[in-house]
Amino acid sequence: MMYFQLAWRNIWRNPRRTTVIFIAIVMGIWIMISMAALMRGVADGMVRQAIKTLTGEIQIHHQGYRNDPVVENSITDPSELKPILDQLLPQNAKWTARVRVNAIASNARHSSGVTLVGIDPLSEEQVSFIGKKAIIEGKFLDSQDTHGIILGKALVEKFETRLGNKIVMMTQNTQKEIASRAFRIVGIFKADMADTEKNFVFINLPEAQKMLQLDRGISEIALILPKGHAIADMAAQIKSRLSSSYEVHTWRELLHALSAYLKMFDKSMQLWYMAVFIAMGFGIVNTMLMAVFERIREFGLLKALGMKSVSILWQVLCESCLILVMGMGLGNFLSVLTVYVFNQKGIDLAFLAKGAEFVGMSRIIYPNIGWDDLLIVNLTVWGLGMVISLYPALKAARFSPVKAMSYY
Amino acid sequence: MALIQITDINKTYTQGKIQIHALKGVTISIHSGGFVALAGPSGSGKTTLLNIIGGLDTVDSGTIIVDGHEYQNMRSSQLANLRLYKIGFVFQAYNLIPVLSALENVEFVMQLQGVSSKERRSRAMKILDEVGLAEMYHRRPHELSGGQQQRVAVARAIVSNPSLVLADEPTANLDSETGKGLLMLMKEMNEKKNVTFVFSTHDPMVMNYASRKILLRDGVVVDDV
Ligand SMILES: Nc1ncnc2c1ncn2[C@@H]1O[C@H](COP(=O)(O)OP(=O)(O)OP(=O)(O)O)[C@@H](O)[C@H]1O
Ligand SMILES: [Mg+2]
């Protein structure tokens, strides 16, 4: 109590100096949290983007498909999966079955390698980006479209074609024969990344099965769990119910590069905290040292009055602690407010969309911060703040009373 | 047994290559209840001696026993405790903690001692009344005159009934009238509460109040009456 009262009055002895440290702490916290939130928003966006781009949160394949994604490695009879999924998955989970195969698309002037995806339009729309909302021209597939195909805008431009034109798809069927078939462009989709638009073309699932002579076979099942559901747990549950002829993977396993990036991301976040803290820390130490050296005489007096060195140490630490906690209070308030506002609106990166595409960022970033981020930032600032305050505090505790008292 | 027993102490300060022999074989014994003046020209070692008696400074040789405590083997925290409970200090200036009011300054020592807040408040008020500062409880040091500040310092030094108060030129920054007033206050406290005072001074007028005068010159006791 005594420490606190003395500390409180001491920090207001020089309001300007206190304000300077205070601002340094507020700014430090604010920069740390806002930037971390932005970075987290980018990472979340990348994950969201990748999951929407036909990955899903969990995928089920036939054994071997991941290593060698050819038609021979297809799931031959998906009907045995349906009851299991219906039983295991929570109510709001969505899933869809696809055929996915490498193909060559060509028209009179151009040809290009693409990924031909046979989808069930209704369920696909719930799981991935492709759906009515992604269509900018024409319409999305319906089950009547036996010869309809959906192309990305970038591919349409590359092929110098347009809605209603024909395009030929050529691929290898299960008999290792060349299968080729002409489709009519019924819709053009837009995606966040031009790569997605160039890579994927969509047709109805039964048409793909016919073309590849797959019968009822499919390449994969992709599913999305309701928000907050433990993905790895569900994947393990599904796996335990399926025979060894199936593979079950989470998006983390499917997207190696992205997972590795996310791991690195946490590390770089900590580095970032440290970098900002070091800048802030110098400010704190300097100002606290100034505050201590200005009061050498007073510390001498306190010792003469019978205050022990340890108590003087506590006294100075208490002053640092007060300023830190006040700065952290305002810093957190401002940061959370900033993050909240930008999280609601999102930050549109359209102005640098070309560059953003390269690294797989989504166009709109929603800064986001977790409790764990907040905790780490605050613990870093408070913990390290106290540790570095030890230096001025030890100085104060070690002044010899005689020297201190003769110091005018 | 004497309250303060100093035997053959030597103190040397080293400043660069120069050695300053501040105290040379000083032996003094001061009994409880005394009102003792340390006199002597500037640089004669008065402050050094007071600091040593107060455990703020160490000696090169010789023994110091205050109130039965032999300093030689005491740790700094033990010396701090001795100061806290047994020794009050009054310095020439800057005696008070600037962020605390007169009342809080007096309470501060009791707070360190762990006296309950109610008791320390009433004791602090009483002692401030005794030193004539009843109206000044809530003034900060910078709102008090030099003489008033010294009175607060005296009040703080005696509030927890120490055995000894050490005062290093307590009147040096005061005009002679105010200095006289402060000295009379110290004398009054000395008699009323039987607290031993040892104070240093240049001022012959101040020395006249003392029951005993110890004269130092160049770190040696040259007279003791
Ligand atoms: N910290 C120190 N370092 C070096 N020399 C010192 C130190 N303190 C005191 N001295 C020297 O020791 C001698 C005694 O000093 P001291 O302060 O005890 O004298 P004093 O009698 O109190 O003088 P004054 O009346 O001026 O206060 C002086 O020569 C002084 O220069
Ligand atoms: Mg002196």
- Tokens in use for B150? 């010294």
Structural domain includes residue B10: no
B59 CA to centre of ligand 2 in angstroms: 17
Q: How far is CA B159 from the centre of its chain?
A: 13
Q: pLDDT at position B149, please?
A: 93
Domain range holding B127? 34-58+76-224
Cross-chain residue pair B85–A402, CB shorter than 8 Å: no
A390 and A306 in contact (C-beta within 8 Å)?
A: no
Cross-chain residue pair B80–A297, CB shorter than 8 Å: no
Q: What does the alpha-carbon distance between residue B208 and residue A21 come to, in Å, rounded to a whole number?
A: 53
Give chain B's domain count.
1
Q: pLDDT at position A407, please?
A: 56
Cross-chain residue pair A306–B84, CB shorter than 8 Å: yes
Q: How many CB pairs under 8 A join A and B?
A: 64
Q: What does the alpha-carbon distance between residue B45 and residue B219 come to, in Å, rounded to a whole number?
A: 5
According to DSSP, the residues that pair with A347 across neighbouring strands are A365
Q: What's the pLDDT tens digit per position in B111-168?
A: 999 999 999 999 999 999 988 888 899 999 999 998 899 999 999 999 988 999 999 9
Side-chain half-sphere exposure of A49, counting CA atoms within 13 A: 23
Q: Does B106 touch chain A (CB under 8 A)?
A: no
Q: What's the pLDDT tens digit per position in A90-143?
A: 988 999 999 999 999 999 889 999 999 999 999 999 999 999 999 999 999 988
Evaluate whether ipTM surpasses 0.90: yes
Q: What does the alpha-carbon distance between residue A6 and residue A79 come to, in Å, rounded to a whole number?
A: 76
A316 and A396 in contact (C-beta within 8 Å)?
A: yes
Ranges of chain A whose pLDDT falls below 70: 1, 351-362, 406-408
Q: Does A306 touch chain B (CB under 8 A)?
A: yes
Q: pLDDT at position A154, please?
A: 93
Structural domain includes residue B63: no
Structural domain includes residue B19: no
Taking only Cα atoms into account, the Rg of chain A, rounded to an integer number of angstroms, comes to 31
Q: Does A10 touch chain B (CB under 8 A)?
A: yes
Assign B65 to helix, strand or coil. strand
**Which residues, in sequence order, are CB contacts of A73 under 8 Å at separation 6+?**
A61, A62, A63, A64, A65
Q: Exposure string (b/e) for A342-366, b if CB count within 10 Å is 16 or more?
A: bbeeeeebeeeeeebbeebbbbebb
Is the pLDDT confidence value at B199 over 70?
yes
**Nearest 10 degrees: CA dihedral of B139, B142, B144, B145?**
180
Q: What's the pLDDT tens digit per position in A28-49?
A: 999 989 988 888 888 888 888 8
Q: Exposure string (b/e) for B155-179, b if CB count within 10 Å is 16 or more?
A: bbbbbbebbbbbbbbbbbbbeeebb
Cross-chain residue pair A305–B83, CB shorter than 8 Å: yes
CATH number at residue B179: 3.40.50.300
Whether the full predicted model's pTM is greater than 0.80, yes or no, is: no
- Nearest CA to A200 out of A134, A135, A251, A152 is that of A152
Who lines ligand 1 at CB under 6 A? B 13, 15, 20, 22, 40, 42-48
**What spatial distance separates the first Cα and last Cα of chain A, rounded to whole Å?**
30
Structural domain includes residue B195: yes
Q: What is the mean pLDDT of residues B46-58?
A: 92
Q: pLDDT at position A359, please?
A: 55
Phi-psi category of A312—alpha, beta or left, where left has phi over 0 and alpha has psi -120 to 50?
Answer: alpha
- Chain B contact set for A2 (CB, 8 A): 108, 111-112
Q: Does B112 touch chain A (CB under 8 A)?
A: yes
Q: Residue A199 to residues A54, A161, A180, A401: CA-CA distances in angstroms?
A: 12, 16, 18, 78
Cross-chain residue pair B84–A6, CB shorter than 8 Å: no
A71 CA to centre of ligand 1 in angstroms: 98
